[in-house]
Chain A
Amino acid sequence: MYQYDNYDQAMVDARVAEFRDQVSRRLEGKLTEEQFRPLRLMNGLYLQLHAYMLRVAVPYGTLSGRQMRMLGHIARKYDRGYGHFTTRQNIQYNWIKLSDAPDILADLASVEMHAIQTSGNCIRNISSDQYAGVAADEVADPRPWAELMRQWSSFHPEFSYLPRKFKIAVIASPEDRAAMRLHDIGLELVKRDGVIGARVFVGGGMGRTPMVAPEVNPFVTEDEIIAYVEACLRVYNRYGRRDNKYKARIKILVHELGVEEYRRQVAEEFAHMKALGLNPPREELARIAAYFADPAYEGGLPDALDRSDPDFALWVDRNVATHKQPGYAIVNISLKPIGGIPGDASADQIELMADLAERYSMDELRVTHAQNIVLPYVRKAELYALWQELHAAGLGEPNLDLVTDIIACPGLDYCSLANARSIPVAQKIAQRFAGNGKDAHIGELKLKISGCINACGHHHAGHIGILGVDRKGTENYQLLLGGSGAEDCSLGTITGPGFDENGIVDAVEKATDLYLRERAEGERFLDTYRRLGMAPFKEAIYG
């Protein structure tokens, strides 16, 4: 894992001191709310429906046990005993006191964490593949590039006041586990003639105008990635729409210019950047990459598992993924217990996961964009012991990628921008499908719920998506089918008129019942939908 050098630590410490001063000036009346608001937002502190909310960055979703334990400590000491893991691989606390915020940031800084650039029109936390470094299909560990970009983008003066927020994802596998093409910039590391480089996708996103990012460059060599991304941002910073918040994301610029013209402008800018020699030296990437070198794997570990406990065997089949190293496994901890709140974890659970990471996973955890946690380095021989501990703590739900593994934003239960609640809908769907046993029968089905058009819950990218809308003051839910955030990226289509809370649960069941009747051998829900098209689903749902 990356460790802060003196610069990193000094920057973060200075920011804590600065914010402490700003908070005390606010409380003493030397700053008005208008003056203070942008300052608190720069430190991830929002004002939400019930209280201040703090969003803490988890760079590319990677955490050590010590960092995870601190997240648990913050939940217990400063919040109401829990936190919410988000689709941006971050964690949010819902009940923060302004007067505590500087102490929280200081606690975070003590474990090399912060809330910088988790809000505002800047480059946000870089997201990545939760299986980075351990996936069998990756061409390289994407995290050194993500870390390089974190350093480059932190307090980048030119990009601190972009037209709008800016989200970057880096992956290095053909299988996209990070919704890469739904980011402002998505990078996929690939190898060409033995050389590493990146495919660059620009202008993806969800929100009110969802778009799948088109490919702007099929191969930028690894040494030039930073300069190329900088060129992409420069063109955006210059021409992005600052006049209209709803047209300010880069996706609108790319769309309005057309990808050809945008590509041409970036190429022009890139030629200019190249001459300036802005790419970081190779040694810097090598220095960073050394932190992400493979851990000392033990050789000769057994691959065989004792599957005699059927509950354990079920969990292994659902939640454990193949590791590149023989004898090891990747464990997914579901934060989606049936009837629970997607992405929420109690302070006890967070601390336990920290503990388990130290004991079973070489002191490392990952946060996934699907709001689950990953232990990336577990010896297969220890899977059973680990599972028993998870199971006992309510963290052993065997439902990865099933219809009950729902992504849901906080919705109207917490969010002041929401039109409708997301969490109760997720709970009802999970209970319905776990109760009637159709969940396992259906297999992979990514269901994603947002409480408003901002799409924090990725509803456009759900095989089944649900969007909360306000219909004359009552909650109403629209259904979307056919989205995907993976390598077969696509945007869902609205089925038709919306439903109330019970109606939407029924509608989801009707759609999946049709799938169960019609599916061909090996087809997922999404495949059947793509083969049959919307018409029969519409008929099943409304007919």
Chain B
Amino acid sequence: MKILTANDLATGDVVWWAGDGWSRLLAQAVDTASEGDAIGKREEAARHVVSAYVVDAEMTADGPRPAHIKERIRGLGPTVRPDLTLKPEAGDLTAWVI
């Protein structure tokens, strides 16, 4: 699947396209198929987000899992600060990232 990520323009928070708007949770990212770039451009023009880009991912039981480690860390937060990640309930963060 192809998911879309960006940063919220005003706060800089990492966000994912959730179909009807942006979510801070990677788990809510939806497949944007071939629409990702167009949605990204539209949302940037509307000044909701900045730096939108499409990411390859696969659907898993826990939700979408980006193909590259960079976006897995982007989705989760820094692996060295589990107190700041968005998935504190996930037992083994490293296993999810690597």
Interface residues of A (CB under 8 A from B): 26-27, 29, 33, 47, 49-52, 80, 94-99, 341, 412-414, 416, 418, 421, 423-424, 427, 473-475
Contacts and interface: CB of A to CB of B under 8 A. Distances in A.
A421 B79 contact: yes
Nearest to B71: A49
A418 B51 contact: no
B37 interface: no
Interface in B36-81: 44, 47, 50-51, 67-70, 73-74, 77-81
Nearest 7 A/B pairs, CB to CB = A51-B12, A52-B12, A413-B78, A423-B80, A99-B10, A97-B11, A29-B47
B80 A424 contact: yes
Contacts of B9: 26-27, 98
Given A97-B11, A98-B12, A27 B47 contact: yes
Contacts of A47: 7, 12, 50-51
A97 B10 contact: yes
Interface residues of B, number: 24
A423 B73 CA distance: 13
Contacts of A51: 7, 11-14
B84 interface: yes
A475 B74 CA distance: 15
B73 A412 contact: yes
B37 to A, nearest CB: 16
Nearest to A416: B70
A55 to B, nearest CB: 14
Interface string B77-91: 111110010000000
Given A49-B70, A413-B78, 7 more contacts: A33-B44, A33-B51, A50-B12, A51-B14, A418-B70, A423-B78, A473-B69
B12 A97 contact: yes
Interface in B1-37: 7, 9-14
A414 B10 contact: no
Contact of A99 (B7, B11, B70): B11
Given A49-B73, A412-B69, A98 B80 contact: no
15 contacts: A27-B9, A47-B7, A50-B12, A51-B13, A52-B7, A94-B78, A99-B11, A412-B69, A416-B70, A421-B80, A424-B80, A427-B80, A473-B67, A474-B69, A475-B69
Given A29-B47, A80-B84, A424-B79, A413 B12 contact: no
Contacts of B14: 49-51
A475 B2 CA distance: 23
B85 to A, nearest CB: 10
A341 B80 contact: yes
Contacts of A475: 69, 98
A98 B11 contact: yes
B26 to A, nearest CB: 12
A418 B7 CA distance: 18
Nearest to A341: B80
B84 to A, nearest CB: 6
A349 to B, nearest CB: 15
B66 to A, nearest CB: 11
Contacts of A29: 47
Contacts of A421: 73, 79-80
A70 B77 CA distance: 26
B15 to A, nearest CB: 11
Q: Could you say which of B7, B12, B47 has the most chain A C-beta atoms within 10 Å of its C-beta?
A: B12
Given A96-B12, A98-B11, A413 B80 contact: yes
A413 B13 contact: no
Nearest to B7: A47
B80 A50 contact: no
A412 B70 contact: yes
Nearest to B50: A33
A27 B50 CA distance: 11
Contacts of A98: 9-12
B10 A27 contact: yes
A423 B81 CA distance: 11
Contacts of B98: 474-475
A478 to B, nearest CB: 17
